[in-house]
Amino acid sequence: MLPTQLELLILLLALVFLVALAYSSVGHGGASGYLAVLSFFGLAPAAMAPSALCLNLLVAGLAFAAYRRGGHFDFRLLWPFLLTSIPFAFLGGLTGISPQLYMGLLAAVLVFAAFRLLVVVPPKHEEHFVQPPPLKVALPVGAGIGFVSGMIGVGGGIFLSPLLILLRWADVKRTAAASAAFIWINSAAGLYGHLMRKSVDWSALVWLIGVAFAGGLIGSYLGARRFRGLWLRRLLGAVLLVATVKLLRTAL
């Protein structure tokens, strides 16, 4: 149920728009951001998970379409990670382990990645550097990302993006394109699972879909066509910090 007061409804829609704009510009869907915003308005994140996944699917799809049209998608970069991440995400979801411990460790890793993206300025030639990892590296990395993502219930883009950039496996725009596709597939699988168990209040979701579509359309266009690589690194670093705060809130 959305807020009934007009002022609160406008604020909610504005925040969802901004989350979609910021996340789509770096090839992410923004699920953690939507859940955080919805929780601020007294809505239970667990109950809103299907709605957040719907928005994630929409915005990640817009981001992927924009980056693909811009010529930044490289399927060679993506498929090895997907091949192992999907089954291991399923295994991660079945694993019983202390969420506080893992979220704390993952938050530390994300803080380090965000610091590197925000502070370190890469040489100019790295803006267009693309060297996909060999299969013997990509397959286990994909499995690790899938397992951890399934364990804590995220799409995996927050782990894939910094790895691709910091290990110099792709430039920021090819990273955004690969991450958007990676997140879209994971979000589709997650949404299917949720819809098998519960229905979605589509009447309430229409408003959120409208503003998320607008934000995702603008953000993905800016990221794919207008923003320089260094700006995208900074935006991704900021997104990782937001994700870290979300993880720490959940762990505590």
Q: What is the full per-residue pLDDT of the chain (252 aa) written as tens digits?
A: 667 678 888 888 988 898 888 888 888 888 777 877 776 776 655 556 677 778 888 999 999 999 999 888 988 899 999 999 888 877 876 765 565 665 666 666 667 667 766 765 555 555 555 678 899 999 999 998 888 776 665 677 878 888 888 888 888 888 889 989 998 887 787 777 667 766 666 777 788 889 999 999 998 998 888 876 667 667 777 777 776 776 666 556
Q: SS3 of 28, please? A: coil
Nearest-CA neighbor of 53 among 159, 193, 149? 193
Residue 25 contacts residue 232 (beta carbons within 8 Å): yes
State the total domains in the chain.
1
What is the CA angle 149-155-161, rounded to 5? 90
Q: For residue 35, is it within any domain?
A: yes
Query: Could you tell me the two tokens for 162?
Result: 């910094």
Query: What pLDDT was estimated at residue 137?
Result: 94
Query: What pLDDT was estimated at residue 177?
Result: 92
Query: What pLDDT was estimated at residue 138?
Result: 93
What is the rounded distance in angstroms from the CA atom of residue 132 to the CA atom of residue 129? Answer: 10
What is the rounded distance in angstroms from the CA atom of residue 69 to the CA atom of residue 134? Answer: 26
pLDDT digits 0-9 by tens, 157-175: 878 888 888 888 888 888 8
Please tell me whether the overall predicted TM-score, pTM, comes out greater than 0.85 for this model: no
Query: What pLDDT was estimated at residue 239?
Result: 72
What is the overall mean pLDDT for the chain?
78
Residue 156 contacts residue 88 (beta carbons within 8 Å): no
Q: For residue 220, is it within any domain?
A: yes
Q: For residue 1, is it within any domain?
A: no
Query: Could you tell me the two tokens for 77?
Result: 């970069």
Ramachandran bin of 43, using left for φ above 0, alpha for ψ from -120 to 50, beta for the remaining angles = beta
For the chain, the farthest-separated pair of C-alpha atoms sits apart, in whole angstroms, at 55
**Which domain covers residue 185, as residue numbers?**
6-251
Q: For residue 171, is it within any domain?
A: yes
Query: What pLDDT was estimated at residue 140?
Result: 95
Nearest-CA neighbor of 144 among 76, 74, 78, 81? 81
Q: For residue 127, is it within any domain?
A: yes
